[in-house]
């Protein structure tokens, strides 16, 4: 089978296996390799009529690929990626293509593309979203790097990607680290959605004392509304699953410690670097971090006497309030992420098309949501740098924000933390404040550090000796 495979995939964890099967089922021949041979054998047991060629050394893997060779890494982000790139550089030739399909930090991709270029090879840093199911049935694929490298895999990627009414959920995003940057921001927005949904759940169970079954039905209804999305859909499904031993809803038996792989944190850190405010994304990262301190939370809770308030009667009005609160927080999270992408695209010279970014998020990925159609339309119409200011959303946000305010007030009254919902509100209130108290901060800075200030009544830069 030497030199007959259209593409090769290294890394046969579930994502790698599923992506290999997906590509093979689209009519391509795929070579596979895993450091541990048993993983490769595991995949071959799943193979039926698919054209998948198992290889057991990197030399054999490279030999099985058609020229120019296309080798895709589906390994854990970090050292493993560098290790495999080094090994492949010894075996590949100029004009061959290396694709990193993992969740790599964009600055690592910047470094790697330079290294690969020096040897005359092509490189794509490619974000892939959709989890195990998406990898098998059609993910959202976000490639960036050498455009001529994308040309080599365009047909493969676009056939393997999820398909929506306006095309495959894959497009060439831009040079160097553009693909991994877009995927990082995608994941930051995802963190914010997940936390907002979790806070809505917390209010439903604590303030209204609803059962998991009742909460599941509410999320089912939400998924028929304007906030319909993959994350709302899976939330409704989670509440239906019972633990076989105890017959209790399984979600109630899961320890309240949320883990993270770092992409949300990278989004926050990068937003600070670019000077873009992303408080809702930042707060979602902080909320996960606080959740990890379970022992300390239990200890601190024992020192407080939390009020045992009577439950509130839940009705259609309350349901609408929570839906409106989620709608606003979703728009805010998208707005923050797209603002960061716009600024980064200018500074990094990615040349991102934001309508295209949103289009490829409409299917296959974790962020897919009904409102993306409206967001895509707003961006195509050139409606402002920040989504919140868009005529498409402005009236909707103005109409729903009072409901978000009521939900935040309820969370404060009932002592239920709702940090993403309340930060969404504070973020909106900041943007719509013609005057913020930053004048006092600037005065303080001038007082202790002679940092100067500008005035509202005349031109120039001023410094005051505030204390003789």
- Greatest alpha-carbon pair distance for the chain in Å reads 86
Cα torsion 294, 232, 230, 394: sign: negative
Q: Are 127 and 105 in contact (CB under 8 A)?
A: no
Q: How does pLDDT run across 339-371, given as a tens digit for each residue?
A: 999 999 999 999 999 999 999 999 999 999 999
pTM > 0.85: yes or no = yes
What's the whole-number mean pLDDT along residues 400-415?
A: 96
What pLDDT was estimated at residue 1? 46
What pLDDT was estimated at residue 49? 78
Would you list the domain boundaries of the chain? 7-176, 183-431, 435-468
Catalytically active residues, by annotation: 183, 190
Q: How many CA atoms lie within 13 A of 84 on its CB side?
A: 25
CA distance 76 to 93: 25
Q: How does pLDDT run across 176-216, given as a tens digit for each residue?
A: 999 999 999 999 999 999 999 999 999 999 999 999 999 99
Q: Closest Cα to residue 281, out of 352, 400, 407, 196?
A: 196
Q: Closest Cα to residue 419, out of 302, 303, 287, 312?
A: 287
pLDDT level of residue 34 (50, 70, 90 thresholds):
very high
Which pair of tokens denotes residue 326?
Answer: 């989620």
Other CB atoms within 10 Å distance of the CB of residue 306 = 9
What pLDDT was estimated at residue 50? 80
User: 7-176: what CATH class?
Assistant: alpha beta
What's the whole-number mean pLDDT along residues 312-317?
A: 91
pLDDT level of residue 54 (50, 70, 90 thresholds):
very high
Token pair 């707005």 in the structure block, residue: 335
Alpha-carbon Rg of the chain, whole angstroms? 25
What pLDDT was estimated at residue 384? 67
Q: Which fold has domain 183-431?
A: 1.10.1040
Residues contacting residue 462 through CB under 8 Å, at least 6 positions apart: 452, 453, 454, 455
CA distance 33 to 197: 39
What pLDDT was estimated at residue 113? 98
Task: Report whether pLDDT(440) > 50.
Answer: yes
CA distance 452 to 463: 5
What pLDDT was estimated at residue 47? 86
- Secondary structure of the chain as H, E, C letters: CCCCECEEEECCCHHHHHHHHHHHHCCCCEEEECCCHHHHHHHHHHCCCCCEEECCCHHHHHHCECCCCEEEECCCCCHHHHHHHHHHHHHCCCCCEEEECCCCCHHHHHHHHHHHHHCCCEEEEEEEECHHHHHHHCCEEEEEECHHHHHHHHHHHHHHCCEECCEECECCCCCCCHHHHHHHHHHHHHHHHHHHHHHHHHHHHHCCCCCHHHHHHHHHHHCCCCCCEHHHHHHHHHCCCECCCCCCEHHHHCCCCCCCCCHHHHHHHHHHHHCCCCHHHHHHHHHHHHHCCHHHHHHHHHCCCCCCCCCCCCCHHHHHHHHHHHHHHHHHHHHHHHHHHHHHHHHHCCCCCHHHHHHHCCCCCCCCECCHHHHHHHHHCCCCCCHHHCHHHHHHHHHHHHHHHHHHHHHHHCCCCCHHHHHHHHHHHHHCCCCCCHHHHHHHHHHHHCCCECCCCCCCCECCCCCC
Token pair 């998948």 in the structure block, residue: 52
Residues contacting residue 266 through CB under 8 Å, at least 6 positions apart: 105, 106, 184, 188
What's the whole-number mean pLDDT along residues 233-247?
A: 96
- The percent of residues above 90 in pLDDT, for the chain, comes to 91
What's the whole-number mean pLDDT along residues 128-135?
A: 93
Q: Closest Cα to residue 282, out of 423, 404, 426?
A: 423
Q: Closest Cα to residue 99, out of 157, 36, 37?
A: 157
Q: What are phi and psi of 200, to 5 degrees?
A: -60, -45
Task: Report whether pLDDT(391) > 50.
Answer: yes
Question: In whole numbers, what is the pLDDT of the chain averaged over residues?
Answer: 95
Task: Report whether pLDDT(320) > 90.
Answer: yes
Give CA angle at 12 (4, 52), nearest 5°.
30
Could you say which architecture CATH assigns to the domain 435-468?
Up-down Bundle (1.20)
Q: How does pLDDT run across 416-438, given as a tens digit for each residue?
A: 999 999 999 999 999 999 999 99
3-class DSSP state for residue 103? coil
Q: How does pLDDT run across 67-110, given as a tens digit for each residue?
A: 999 999 999 999 999 999 999 999 999 999 999 999 999 999 99
């Amino acid at each position: 089978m030497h030199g007959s495979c259209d593409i090769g995939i290294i890394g046969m964890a579930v994502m790698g296996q599923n992506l290999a099967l997906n590509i093979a089922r689209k009519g391509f021949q795929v070579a596979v390799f895993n450091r541990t041979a048993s993983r490769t054998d595991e995949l071959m047991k799943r193979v039926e009529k698919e054209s998948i060629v198992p290889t057991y050394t990197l030399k054999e893997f490279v030999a099985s690929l058609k020229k120019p060779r296309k080798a895709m890494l589906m390994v854990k982000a970090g050292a493993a990626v560098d290790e495999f790139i080094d090994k492949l550089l010894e075996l590949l030739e100029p004009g061959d293509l290396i694709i990193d399909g993992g969740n790599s930090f964009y600055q690592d991709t910047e470094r790697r593309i330079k290294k690969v270029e020096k040897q005359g090879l092509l490189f794509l840093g490619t974000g892939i979203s959709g989890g195990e199911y998406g990898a098998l049935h059609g993910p959202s694929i976000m490639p960036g790097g050498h455009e001529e490298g994308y040309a080599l895999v365009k047909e493969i990627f676009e056939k393997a990607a999820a398909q929506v009414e306006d095309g495959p959920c894959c497009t060439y995003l831009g040079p160097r680290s553009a693909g991994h940057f877009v995927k990082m921001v995608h994941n930051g927005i995802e963190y914010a959605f997940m936390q907002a949904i979790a806070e809505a759940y917390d209010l439903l169970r604590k303030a209204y004392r609803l059962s998991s079954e009742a909460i599941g039905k509410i999320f089912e209804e939400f998924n028929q509304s304007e906030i319909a999305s993959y994350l709302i859909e899976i939330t409704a499904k989670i509440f239906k699953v019972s633990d076989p031993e105890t017959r209790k809803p399984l979600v109630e038996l899961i320890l309240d410690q949320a883990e993270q792989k770092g992409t949300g944190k990278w989004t926050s850190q990068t937003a600070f670097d670019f000077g873009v405010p992303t408080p809702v994304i930042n707060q979602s990262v902080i909320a996960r971090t606080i959740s990890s301190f379970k022992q300390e939370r239990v200890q601190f809770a024992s020192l407080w006497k939390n009020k045992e308030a009577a439950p509130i009667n839940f009705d259609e009005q309350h349901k609408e309030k929570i839906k409106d609160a989620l709608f606003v927080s979703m728009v805010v999270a998208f707005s923050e992420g797209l603002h960061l992408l716009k600024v980064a695209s200018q500074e990094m010279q990615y040349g991102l098309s934001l309508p295209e970014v949103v289009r490829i998020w409409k299917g296959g990925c974790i962020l897919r949501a009904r409102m993306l159609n409206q967001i895509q339309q707003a961006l195509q119409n050139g409606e402002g740098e920040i989504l919140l200011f868009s005529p498409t959303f402005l009236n909707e946000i103005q109409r729903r924000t009072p409901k978000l305010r009521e939900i935040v007030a309820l969370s404060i009254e009932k002592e239920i933390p709702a940090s993403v919902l309340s930060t969404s509100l504070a973020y909106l209130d900041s943007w719509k404040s013609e005057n913020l108290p930053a004048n006092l901060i600037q005065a303080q800075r001038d007082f202790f550090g002679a940092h100067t200030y500008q005035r509202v009544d005349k031109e120039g830069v001023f410094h005051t000796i505030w204390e003789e």
